[in-house]
């Protein structure tokens, strides 16, 4: 670990342990994976302290997610050492070839979140919060249009991020509050022995709309199957997610939250 300067107590906790570097996702963090622990290094943001409080609350609620083992701030960086949730990502080829197991696990994870009592949840991540952050990102040029869905800013779509933001502010759907993961995509839902095992990457977790996770879960399932990320899995039908959830898709809400995510 000589190449990465760490706070003393965290250095002592992981000294000499072998690790790999995980570059899955788009967060820009440095993530070191050990046998039983994960170390995440990010630039300091005040909101990250809210994430730590949320993680500790999730542990109290017995939600299968990483536990905080150590948390330190030094200079412009934060260091979070957490327990490692066992299992493979739902997008692992092993489970992509077993869509019935994988889609059921995605649905089981959502149902577990919805079952948690949110009356004392320490973090609200509703549309007021999301749209405020989206406006900040638009006004400060932080939106990456290159990673948007092809049709979002194409002919017949929105002119730019500002126009999309205005539309989102004018078309807010009614909220169905639940405990929301906030980034419910296949890499963040872990499986083991063909069943749901736990969540990772809960930086956006809090009380939010039920349909936010449904929308991002559906989109992630669709793109992991249609070749967006490389290999195609034509046997996967993303609409099976709604069958496993036992609900009819609300396409207006699904499309709304997919569009909202374009600004993040």
Phi, psi (degrees; rounded to nearest 5) at 21: -100, 130
Of 120, 183, 193, 237, the catalytic one is: 183
Given a cut of 70, is residue 173 above it in pLDDT?
Answer: yes
Q: Output the pLDDT for position 24.
A: 57
How many other C-beta atoms can be found within 10 angstroms of the C-beta atom of residue 160? 11
Q: Which helix (H) or strand (E) holds 27?
A: none
Let me know if 183 is a catalytic residue: yes
How confident is residue 2, by pLDDT bands cut at 50, 70 and 90? very low
Where are the domain boundaries for CATH 3.90.1200.10 in the chain?
88-261
Q: Which of 220, 226, 149, 223 is nearest to 185 (CA)?
A: 220
Which run of H or of E encompasses 79? strand 77-83
Question: Is the separation of the CB atoms in 190 and 87 below 8 Å?
Answer: yes
Count of beta carbons in the 10 Å neighbourhood of residue 169? 12
| CATH number assigned to the domain with residue range 8-83, chosen from the 4 options 3.30.200.20, 3.30.1330.10, 3.40.640.10, 3.30.70.20 | 3.30.200.20
Give backbone dihedrals phi and psi of 114, rounded to 5 degrees, phi first: -65, -20
Confidence of residue 212 (pLDDT cuts 50, 70, 90): very high
Residues 65, 199: contact at Cβ < 8 Å? Answer: yes
pLDDT tens for residues 107-131?
Answer: 999 999 999 999 999 999 999 999 9
| Helices within 15-96 (DSSP H only) | 47-60, 93-96
Predicted structure pTM score: 0.91
With cut-offs at 50, 70 and 90, classify the pLDDT of residue 22.
confident
Mean pLDDT value across residues 137-155:
94
* CATH level 2 (architecture), domain 88-261: Alpha-Beta Complex (3.90)
pLDDT attached to residue 1: 43
Return the closest-CA partner of residue 47 out of 128, 133, 117.
133
Percent of the chain exceeding pLDDT 90 equals 88
Q: How confident is the model at residue 47 (pLDDT cuts 50, 70, 90)?
A: confident
């Amino acid at each position: 670990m000589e190449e990465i300067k760490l706070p003393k107590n965290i250095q002592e906790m992981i000294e000499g342990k072998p690790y790999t570097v995980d570059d899955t996702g788009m967060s820009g963090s440095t993530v070191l994976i050990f046998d039983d622990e994960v170390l995440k290094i990010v630039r300091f943001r005040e909101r990250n302290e809210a994430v730590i409080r949320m993680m500790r609350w999730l542990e109290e609620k017995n939600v299968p997610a990483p536990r905080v083992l150590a948390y330190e701030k030094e200079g412009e960086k934060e260091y979070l050492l957490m327990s490692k949730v066992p299992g493979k990502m739902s997008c692992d080829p092993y489970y992509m070839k077993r869509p019935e197991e994988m889609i059921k696990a995605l649905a089981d994870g959502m149902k577990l979140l919805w079952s948690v009592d949110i009356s004392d949840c320490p973090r609200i991540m509703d549309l007021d919060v999301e749209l405020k952050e989206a406006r900040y990102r638009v006004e400060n040029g932080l939106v990456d249009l290159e990673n948007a869905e092809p049709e979002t800013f194409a002919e017949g779509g929105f002119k730019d991020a500002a126009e999309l933001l205005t539309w989102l502010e004018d078309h807010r759907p009614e909220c169905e509050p639940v405990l929301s993961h906030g980034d419910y995509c296949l890499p963040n839902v872990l499986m083991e022995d063909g069943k749901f095992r736990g969540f990772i990457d809960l930086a956006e977790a809090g009380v939010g709309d039920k349909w936010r996770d449904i929308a991002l879960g559906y989109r992630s399932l669709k793109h992991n199957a249609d070749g967006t990320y490389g290999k195609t899995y034509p046997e996967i039908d993303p609409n099976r997610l709604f069958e496993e959830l036992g609900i009819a898709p609300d396409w207006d809400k699904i499309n709304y939250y997919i569009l909202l995510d374009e600004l993040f």
